[in-house]
Amino acid sequence: EKERLEIWKASKEVGKVLKSGVTNLRDLRNKCVQALGYADYFSYQASEYNMSTDELMTATRGMIKDIWPLYRELHTWARYELAKKYKKPVPDYLPAHWLPNRWGQQWSELVKVEGFNLDPYLEKQGAEWIVKKSEEFYKSLGFSELPKTFWEKSSLYPVPPNANYKKNTHASAWHIDNDKDVRSLMSVIPNTEWWGTALHELGHIYYYISYSNPDVPIILRSGANRAYHEAFGTMMGMASLQKPFLQGLGMMDKDAKINDTLMLLKEALEYAVHIPWGSGTMTEFEYNLYAKNISPDKYNKLWWELAKRFQGIEPSEPRGEEYCDAATKTHINDDPAQYYDYSMSNVLLFQFHQHIAQDILKQDPHATNYWGNKEIGNFLQTVMKPGASVDWREHLKKSIGQDFSAKPMLEYFKPLMAYLQKINKGRKYTLPEQPDFNY
Ligand code: X8Z
Ligand code: ZN
């Protein structure tokens, strides 16, 4: 635990260096869009969804409310589980360094499922296999092969130790010319996390390729909204870890006995846990940063107030204003005021996945195999092709007959909810029954 704390603290040192830059960027970003008539940068980013700041905050807060009962169970489960692991009394709030991610944005590594560990297999296959196999997955659905220039001009693997340059190790995908030049920046190492990330980035790449067609003017070559852009690749990543998919591809033994409830728990720790972080801590912070212009001497106080309120996470030592823990998240610096894209995409991807499982594959959403299904490919291409030339809400209604809703996600995790309530019976809950937005 001591070592974890040291590593956690080291990972936050960079915030000090970035703090004044973030304030400078905030001011520049606000001034730029104010010159165009927007109130501030936050409202400018929300306008891409055809929403005002208030509408957007209502939507992100709505997602937190929807997921809250499940999150509260997961939070309680994690506190007791981790206290056992670290042989400590059960804390009211999760010490940040106990979690398997330095922002507590997803906790799936807390669960080890017997018979399910892809790391040794992936390690044997190597990093290049991961990217190639990801492309093959998309091709199996009917997507085209990636352009030659993707392979020539992307930077996909870690920087060699003796290189005379650095790169951001956080993965991204780029549409260089709004046409055929698509590239990705990754640092793929052969493990399960990068398997998901490679599929995520190729989701962006195939979206770029799909809407780069003569029917879509250059200026509308982007996602129906930014959450759509994040959703497809993450959905492919989720589908790629389901048992029938893995068994079909020979990545898991045909007769492997896997505990389905633990798999579901693992998925909830990935996708549901992300919502109070993405819609809560990150979005509320950036709302205050851009729309409320909070003063730099309050950044860290606000950051930790939000982490406690929405994620139920606390630092184990006071974090004064000499730190800027928000700035340790790359998106605060270089992907500003749009992190809610990810939480919205998690909600959206369960809507798309439910449609694919039930209406196309006729399979249980918990146990699908997308591989090789051209109908899924056709469906995805139909959704992707028009880019931003459609209204995202109408487009959703047209493609799956639904409005934006967390229902499919909640339905997916329903069996888990019952399991958690049973395990947590008699335990102390420290998060309120409803999230509290008054701060
Ligand atoms: O930043 C990303 C992608 C790049 S678009 C790798 N994600 C968020 C994060 O890492 O914080 C994917 C999930 C959430
Ligand atoms: Zn992305």
142-166 residue pLDDT tens = 999 999 999 999 999 999 999 999 9
Rounded to an integer, the average pLDDT of 116-135 is 98
> Is 171 a pocket residue for ligand 1 (Cβ < 6 Å)?
yes
Q: How far apart are CA 271 and CA 180, in angstroms?
A: 32
State the distance from the centre of ligand 1 to the C-alpha of 194, rounded, in angstroms: 11
State the distance from the centre of ligand 1 to the C-alpha of 212, rounded, in angstroms: 23
The residue whose CB lies within 8 Å of the most ligand 1 atoms, and thus the one to mutate among 106, 175, 200, is 200
Q: What is the dihedral of CA 315, 20, 184, 243, to 10 degrees?
A: 10
Confidence of residue 222 (pLDDT cuts 50, 70, 90): very high
State the distance from the centre of ligand 2 to the C-alpha of 198, rounded, in angstroms: 10
Q: Which of 44, 58, 104, 11 is nearest to 226 (CA)?
A: 44
Q: Which residues contact 281 (CB under 8 A, 6 or more apart)?
A: 103, 303, 306, 307, 310, 311
Q: From residue 219, give the alpha-carbon distance in Å to each of 144, 179, 216, 339, 387.
A: 23, 11, 8, 22, 10
Query: For residue range 337-348, what is the model confidence (pLDDT) as tens digits?
Result: 999 999 999 999
The residue whose CB lies within 8 Å of the most ligand 1 atoms, and thus the one to mutate among 187, 229, 230, 311, is 230
Coil, strand or helix: which one is 116? Answer: strand
Confidence of residue 70 (pLDDT cuts 50, 70, 90): very high
> Is 172 a pocket residue for ligand 1 (Cβ < 6 Å)?
yes
Q: Which of 176, 380, 177 is nearest to 185 (CA)?
A: 176
| Cβ–Cβ < 8 Å for 331, 25 | no
Q: Which of 78, 140, 101, 74 is nearest to 7 (CA)?
A: 101
> Is 316 a pocket residue for ligand 1 (Cβ < 6 Å)?
no
| Strand partners for 113 | 116
Rounded to an integer, the average pLDDT of 233-253 is 97
Q: Which atom of ligand 1 is nearest to the CA of 329?
A: 11
Going by alpha carbons, the residue nearest to atom 5 of ligand 1 is 172
| Strand partners for 173 | 184
State the distance from the centre of ligand 1 to the C-alpha of 227, rounded, in angstroms: 12
State the distance from the centre of ligand 1 to the C-alpha of 359, rounded, in angstroms: 29
> Is 200 a pocket residue for ligand 1 (Cβ < 6 Å)?
yes
Query: For residue range 357-407, what is the model confidence (pLDDT) as tens digits?
Result: 999 999 999 999 999 999 999 999 999 999 999 999 999 999 999 999 999
Q: How far apart are CA 161 and CA 164, in angstroms?
A: 9
Percentage, residues of the chain above pLDDT 90: 100
Q: Which ligand is nearest to the CA of 237?
A: 1
Q: What is the CA 266 to chain-centroid distance, rounded?
A: 14
Say what the pLDDT of residue 105 is: 98
Q: How far apart are CA 75 and CA 265, in angstroms?
A: 12
Q: Which ligand is nearest to the CA of 196?
A: 1
> Is 197 a pocket residue for ligand 1 (Cβ < 6 Å)?
yes
What's the N-to-C CA distance of the chain in angstroms? 32
Confidence of residue 44 (pLDDT cuts 50, 70, 90): very high
- The whole-model pTM stands at 0.98
State the distance from the centre of ligand 2 to the C-alpha of 232, rounded, in angstroms: 9
Q: What is the dihedral of CA 170, 176, 181, 185, to 10 degrees?
A: -10
> Is 226 a pocket residue for ligand 1 (Cβ < 6 Å)?
no
State the distance from the centre of ligand 1 to the C-alpha of 172, rounded, in angstroms: 8
Say what the pLDDT of residue 278 is: 98
| Cβ–Cβ < 8 Å for 366, 260 | yes
Residues within 5 Å of ion ligand 2, judged at the Cβ atom: 230
Q: What is the CA 326 to chain-centroid distance, rounded?
A: 17
Q: What is the CA 8 to chain-centroid distance, rounded?
A: 21
Q: How many CB atoms lie within 10 A of CB 217?
A: 11
State the distance from the centre of ligand 1 to the C-alpha of 255, rounded, in angstroms: 34
> Is 185 a pocket residue for ligand 1 (Cβ < 6 Å)?
no
Q: Which ligand is nearest to the CA of 227?
A: 2
Q: Which ligand is nearest to the CA of 171?
A: 1
Q: Which of 300, 291, 414, 279 is nearest to 347 (CA)?
A: 279
Q: How far apart are CA 73 and CA 92, in angstroms?
A: 13
Say what the pLDDT of residue 3 is: 97
Say what the pLDDT of residue 80 is: 98
Going by alpha carbons, the residue nearest to atom 7 of ligand 1 is 342
Going by alpha carbons, the residue nearest to atom 14 of ligand 1 is 342
Say what the pLDDT of residue 38 is: 98
Q: Which ligand is nearest to the CA of 203?
A: 2
State the distance from the centre of ligand 1 to the C-alpha of 341, rounded, in angstroms: 10
Going by alpha carbons, the residue nearest to atom 8 of ligand 1 is 342
What φ, ψ does residue 289 adopt, rounded to 5°?
A: -65, -50
Say what the pLDDT of residue 85 is: 97
User: For the chain, what is the mean pLDDT?
Assistant: 98
> Is 106 a pocket residue for ligand 1 (Cβ < 6 Å)?
no
Rounded to an integer, the average pLDDT of 282-297 is 98
State the distance from the centre of ligand 1 to the C-alpha of 176, rounded, in angstroms: 19
